[in-house]
A and B are shown apart, each in its own frame.
Chain A
Amino acid sequence: MTNLRKYSRGVSIIGVGCTPFMDTLGNLETAGLTEGELFGYAALEAMEDAGLEASDVEYYYHGQAIPSVQSHYITHNMQIANWFGMKGKASSSHSEACCTGYVALEQAVQAVAAGTYDIVLSGCCDMSEARAIPDKPAHMRTRFTQEEFADVLPMMYSRDYTRTSLAANALVCDSWMQLYARENNLTDQQIDDTLNAMAISCRRAAALNPLAFMGRSYKEEAEEAGFSTEMDYLRSPFNPKVTEYLRLSSFEQKCDGAAAVIVCPTELAYKYTDHPIEVLGVGHACLEGGTANLEKHATAEAYRQVKELTGLGGSDMDLFLANDFLLCSHLLAAEECEYLPKGEGWKYAAEGRTAFDGDKPINTNGGRCHFGHAHGSSGLADLYEAVKQMRGEMGPTQLKKTPETAMLRGFGGGQNVTCTILKTL
């Protein structure tokens, strides 16, 4: 058991950037974009947001979930440096599957808290729909198919024992939801209706977000398909169940995208921005894929760490974001982190109270199933959403009450779990 200690000095976010989450190959205007360009656009946006240029940034991190397959790189930090003016600067790369973007923030914060650097950029880029073609220029890309992606997934699991047990990936989809259903005496119909309501809330937010992958609301899709309500549409064969509980609308939308953040010592933050946001702490726990209900246990531990460090819990938060490449994950994590009351969260979700215009907002960008999932980049896209919400800059999806606190629960199929608390200075 790890007990976190306070940072040696406070660290605040002063700039964020995020590209649209998109299918680059599916659009003539974006086909041929490269990882260097996408990372560069997100990084340069973060610099502009902070009022900085590359010469001010002392170190950067590059996170990517699947660099060897998507980019045909093993040193991905090196291959993007020249694209945003950081040639010759120190950098390093990291990869924690779908948790990469959340770890990206933790690493930057630790580098500044340690006192080694004052200005650190952390970015992530994954092109999960447009993979590299080895030995061809970077703009020549091909579809990263679902079949190829399925072949990559076992790489998240240990070849010692977990892969031969076969069950890790299948159980991560449903086991926590099943446990929750049993604990709360929920029927399959109640679970289905709750997940469909969550999908409607998330899609409604995504359809209003210009950066999101899914641009149409379910209301529009339902009308086009001849259904009178969104719920009828989501219960229909247009939205089949692909696991015991999860329908297509409860699964990630794989896409391409990049995002970046810049942090500095809190004592310097007002030099760069009039709206800094402090990172109060990052809880972090990991359980390998053979462990039963690993997401639940690691979420509980990461949350315990950050709660004990900060004295703040989920009930103190104005906004909750969770990596939900399986849609049920955001409901379950929100209860585990005490953002929603134990055993009652499903009612909040079913009644739409977790939508961006509800009283307990969750995943106000639409989450992984509707904003999109550019794997390693998604955590920083959530951070972008949290920061913009906390500044009051989210336009049509801006929360009724501008949040002053936010919690981000990172989770990777590669089994890292983080719990981060942000607070407006």
Chain B
Amino acid sequence: MDKTKYERIVKTFYDYLEEGKVMGRKCTRCGAVEFPPYLACNTCGCPKTEWEEISGEAEVTGFRMESLMHSEEDIKELHGDYCYATVKLKEGAELNTVVVGVTAAMKDELMEKIPFPVKPYIAQRDGYKAVFWQLDE
């Protein structure tokens, strides 16, 4: 068995983030983009996908501020105010994620603007980088 045929998708995704690239996997059959990336296509079931950089075009479809039950102190310290949001990518995926740069004072105005545009924000975490989002003015 050739061990090199087992590509490390998760590791490669995080390696790309170190280079400042946010990558998905495009289905070789139907063209759907898996973000975050997986081995096979969840749209048509095709077993083959290949790396593709995402466009970065996305919009917030809903959001909520931190609460008594949910808050991320380390995010706030390193990256400032934030909200929890559902974000829909131009490529199709809709995710639960974090949008930085959103203060409680902005809540009502942004709520009226849903859907509003955001772009990727690569955040340094403890020993790795992660994808959050930021307002795309």
Determine whether A142 belongs to the interface, using a CB cutoff of 8 Å to chain B: no
B interface with A by C-beta (< 8 Å): 10, 13, 36, 61-62, 64-70, 72, 75, 84-88, 94-98, 114, 125, 128, 130-132
Q: Which A-B residue pairs are the 8 nearest by beta carbons?
A: A292-B86, A170-B70, A292-B94, A161-B36, A167-B84, A167-B96, A164-B130, A170-B84
Nearest chain B residue, comparing its CB with the CB of A159? B10
Chain B residues within an 8 Å CB radius of A174: 64
CA–CA, A119 to B65, complex, Å?
A: 50
CA–CA, A179 to B62, complex, Å?
A: 7
Given A165-B131, A179-B62, A292-B61, A243 and B68 touching (CB < 8 A)?
yes
Nearest chain A residue, comparing its CB with the CB of B10? A160
Q: Name 30 interchain pairs, CB-CB below 8 A, sorted by A.
A: A160-B36, A164-B125, A165-B95, A165-B98, A165-B132, A166-B75, A167-B98, A168-B96, A170-B66, A170-B67, A170-B70, A171-B84, A171-B96, A173-B69, A174-B64, A175-B62, A175-B96, A178-B62, A178-B64, A179-B62, A182-B114, A240-B68, A242-B67, A243-B68, A243-B69, A244-B64, A244-B65, A244-B67, A292-B88, A293-B62
- Chain B nearest Cβ from A385, distance in angstroms: 28
Determine whether A241 belongs to the interface, using a CB cutoff of 8 Å to chain B: yes
Determine whether A63 belongs to the interface, using a CB cutoff of 8 Å to chain B: no
The B-contacting residues of A in range 227-244, CB under 8 angstroms, are 240-244
- Chain A nearest Cβ from B2, distance in angstroms: 24
Given A173-B70, A242-B69, A243-B70, A165 and B97 touching (CB < 8 A)?
yes
Q: Is the CB of A243 within 8 A of B64?
A: yes
Q: How many contacts between A and B, using CB within 8 angstroms?
A: 84
Given A164-B128, A165-B96, A293 and B86 touching (CB < 8 A)?
yes
Q: Is the CB of A289 within 8 A of B96?
A: yes
The B-contacting residues of A in range 76-128, CB under 8 angstroms, are none
Q: Is the CB of A166 within 8 A of B88?
A: no
Determine whether A184 belongs to the interface, using a CB cutoff of 8 Å to chain B: no
CA–CA, A171 to B132, complex, Å?
A: 15
A interface bracket (residues with beta carbon within 8 Å of B): 20 to 34
CA–CA, A96 to B65, complex, Å?
A: 29
Given A165-B98, A166-B98, A291-B94, A242 and B86 touching (CB < 8 A)?
no
CA–CA, A165 to B84, complex, Å?
A: 10
Nearest chain B residue, comparing its CB with the CB of A170? B70
Chain A residues within an 8 Å CB radius of B87: 292
**12 further contact pairs, Cβ within 8 A, besides A165-B130, A243-B64, A290-B96:** A165-B95, A165-B132, A166-B75, A166-B98, A167-B84, A167-B96, A175-B62, A241-B67, A242-B68, A243-B67, A243-B70, A292-B96
Q: Is the CB of B95 within 8 A of A291?
A: yes
CA–CA, A210 to B79, complex, Å?
A: 50
CA–CA, A321 to B131, complex, Å?
A: 38
CA–CA, A176 to B95, complex, Å?
A: 13
Determine whether A424 belongs to the interface, using a CB cutoff of 8 Å to chain B: no
Determine whether A169 belongs to the interface, using a CB cutoff of 8 Å to chain B: yes
CA–CA, A149 to B78, complex, Å?
A: 27
Given A166-B75, A243-B70, A171 and B10 touching (CB < 8 A)?
no
CA–CA, A175 to B84, complex, Å?
A: 9
- Chain A nearest Cβ from B46, distance in angstroms: 16
Q: Is the CB of A290 within 8 A of B36?
A: yes
Chain A residues within an 8 Å CB radius of B64: 170-171, 174-175, 178, 243-244
CA–CA, A166 to B126, complex, Å?
A: 13
**A241 CB contact (under 8 Å) in B68, B75, B84, B130:** B68
CA–CA, A422 to B107, complex, Å?
A: 44
CA–CA, A319 to B47, complex, Å?
A: 43
Q: Is the CB of B85 within 8 A of A167?
A: yes
Chain B residues within an 8 Å CB radius of A166: 72, 75, 84, 97-98
Nearest chain B residue, comparing its CB with the CB of A165? B97
- Chain A nearest Cβ from B94, distance in angstroms: 4
CA–CA, A160 to B68, complex, Å?
A: 27
- Chain B nearest Cβ from A404, distance in angstroms: 38
Nearest chain B residue, comparing its CB with the CB of A251? B69
CA–CA, A244 to B66, complex, Å?
A: 8
- Chain A nearest Cβ from B33, distance in angstroms: 14
- Chain B nearest Cβ from A22, distance in angstroms: 25
- Chain A nearest Cβ from B37, distance in angstroms: 9
Chain A residues within an 8 Å CB radius of B68: 240-243
